[in-house]
Amino acid sequence: MKKRLSGLLTVVLASSMLLAACSGNNAPSESSPGTEPQPGESGTAPVEVTLFAVQEQGIDLTTNKFTAFLEDKFNLKMSFETTPPDGAKEKRQISLASGDYPDAYILPGYIDQFSQADVVKYGKQGVIVPLNDLIDQHAPNIKAAMESNPDLKAFNTAPDGNIYGLVAYSQCFHCSYPNKMWINTKWLDELGLDMPSTTDEFRDALRAFKTQDPNGNGVADEVPLSGSTEDFGVRIIPFLMNGFVYNDDRNYLNLSGGKVESAALKEEWKEGLTYIKSLYDEGLIDPGAFAQNAEAYKKIGENGDTQILGAGAGMHPAIFLNIDAGNKNSADYNPVPPLTGPHGSYATHDGGGVAPGAKFVITNKASEAQQIALIQMVDYMFTMEGQTNGASGMEGIDWRKPEAGEEALGEGVEPQVALIPAAEGEAPRNAGWSGTAHFYMPKEYRDSFVQGTEIYDPANYERRLYQATLLYEGHEPEELFPLWSIWIAQEEVDEASILQTNIKSYIEQNALQFITGNKSLEKDWDAYVKGLQDLQIDRYLEILQKAYDASFGN
């Protein structure tokens, strides 16, 4: 089947890593608005609009330079109902419940956005208005993007054919394979070991890290393998399990011949747990990997003058150690390719930051003139210039055109944008909307940002991650269950949500109990399977199969 893109939060790194440029057939349009009629005629009063938005750090939307630019370009006057990131979802819901809501909501997708269920519910209630005609008549760039990108159209189009809102479509390549493993290659060299390529070789490397004093301090203080319980690929089970059965690190779903299956019911899952338990029993896995937060994890990676971490799970190594120029250990951690196990060599694929739902909606409070003004404003952010000005900051302040000899991140891609780094101690420039403006950033667009070639220079960190991700690309299964781009029937959304939560929690709790020995894989496996059946996993799979068949015409 045609692989669909998924959602997971896009990691927003330092400004040198925040990519937002374009090229290629699916990139934002090179054209800028100008042919469309402006919402307010020249010399008339601006069209006033009110937007609910999240106030991100370092950004003041009211005094923002991009805000002023949009107001001038589209004869607008914007006022904002802002909320800090913490509690943004709750405050959005309170805003809607009050009945006194704004003309539009514009949200950073990785902090908060409307779920698919929200979009359909509020759309059917008439609280948010369909955008179909507005896009067709006043948003040529949005229209062109959806015509050229079926995935984008699928994300945006509800089962009734209406487009009630727009997603945050940001394809971050290195985010699209989040469950990477980073190993201390200085220790491998010290011990005369090659980069592991199989599950057995990885075990051998961890054993050597534990027993052969690779940091040379005469103390058995090495931590062979660690991770965390949070997001961004830090959980250790998926990388290790992928040599046995594909682990999506999300809901543990597989697709085979168009049939939705649970990976956690398979014998291969049991084999994978057996392998991971063997590592745990030998003391090769830090027990904290199953309990600690990101801060505790980083203390292991940043252990003063003595390196103690052998291998760490994560989307990128800055999660567990500092990658600044002053850290002599940064270059020691390099990616382990997907391990070949008894049943495969998979890599968890996540599409890189595209989440189902909507980050932008227009409400029934907006007049026709306000609706046109709002859709034209967002349409500008579907152009190369508009997306870059919005997401990265204004041209001449935060970015510039490339100079001769500068290279784009993607191979064979024409460079389009070079970020202007902030000087040390420089105050926030407040020239863009950051994630609030993340509307259409396909891979081709992000690949066209200028990046240097020295991968261990922090300024070129994105190239380091890009090159690492090439090792994982293509290791996903031929079929991927596209939970992110199917629309579950409205009458089954609540049921599916409850089942999903209970089943996911049960799978994860039992995996930990099997690995740590609190449950026996030999004695308790059948009871575990029965527990999943008692949680109605068959019904859950039935709902998902129905939604998949409806979405893909099976």
* All domains in the chain, ordered by first residue: 47-174+353-447 (3.40.190.10), 178-348+488-554 (3.40.190.10)
The per-residue DSSP string of 473-499 comes to TT-S-SS---TTT----GGGHHHHHHH
Q: What is the pLDDT of residue 39?
A: 52
Query: HSE on the CB side for 447, CA within 13 Å?
Result: 17
- Compute how many other C-beta atoms are within 10 angstroms of the C-beta atom of residue 479: 15
One pLDDT digit (tens) per residue for the chain, 554 residues:
333 333 333 333 333 333 333 333 455 765 443 344 455 555 689 999 999 999 999 999 999 999 999 999 999 999 999 999 999 999 999 999 999 999 999 999 888 999 998 999 999 999 999 999 999 999 999 999 999 998 899 899 998 999 999 999 988 899 999 999 999 999 999 999 999 999 999 999 999 999 999 999 999 999 999 999 998 999 999 999 999 999 999 999 999 999 999 999 999 999 999 999 999 999 999 999 999 999 999 999 999 889 999 999 999 999 999 998 778 899 999 999 999 999 999 999 986 667 788 999 999 999 999 999 999 999 999 999 999 999 999 999 999 999 999 999 999 999 999 999 999 899 999 999 999 999 999 999 999 999 999 999 999 999 999 999 999 999 999 999 887 778 888 889 889 999 999 999 999 999 999 999 999 999 999 999 999 999 999 999 999 999 999 888 65
Residues 6+ apart with CB under 8 A from 358: 113, 114, 118, 119, 156, 164, 165, 166, 167
Helix axes 537-552, 525-534, angle to 10 degrees: 60
Over residues 299-334, the pLDDT tens digits come to: 999 998 899 999 999 999 999 999 987 788 999 999
Q: From residue 221, how far is each of 148, 186, 488 by CA, in Å?
A: 55, 17, 50
Beta strands (DSSP E) in 186-250 are 223-226
- Pair of tokens at residue 164: 């009630």
Distance, in Å, from the CA atom of 45 to the CA atom of 76, rounded to the nearest integer, reads: 9
Backbone angles phi, psi at 88, to 5 degrees: -60, -40
CA angle (26, 75, 145) in 5-degree steps: 10
- Pair of tokens at residue 478: 């031929």
The alpha carbon torsion through 479, 480, 485, 491 (nearest 10 deg) reads 100
Closest CA to 360 of 448, 446, 444, 433: 433
Closest CA to 373 of 54, 51, 83: 51
Q: Yes or no: say if 481 and 544 are a contact pair by the CB < 8 Å rule.
A: yes
Over residues 113-164, the pLDDT tens digits come to: 999 989 999 999 999 999 999 999 999 999 999 999 988 998 999 989 999 9
Coil vs helix vs strand at 286: coil
First to last CA, the chain: 11
- Pair of tokens at residue 55: 């106030």
Handedness of CA 296, 302, 306, 308 (dihedral sign): positive
Distance, in Å, from the CA atom of 409 to the CA atom of 411, rounded to the nearest integer, reads: 7
- Kindly provide the b/e burial profile for residues 281-294, where b requires at least 16 CB atoms within 10 angstroms of the residue's own CB: eeebbbebbbebeb
Q: Yes or no: say if 10 and 170 are a contact pair by the CB < 8 Å rule.
A: yes
- Pair of tokens at residue 335: 């990616």
Q: Which conformational region is residue 313 in: left (phi greater than 0), alpha (psi within -120 to 50 degrees), or beta?
A: beta
Helix axes 493-516, 537-552, angle to 10 degrees: 130
Beta strands (DSSP E) in 199-342 are 223-226, 253-256, 259-262, 309-313, 333-336
**pTM passes above 0.95:** no
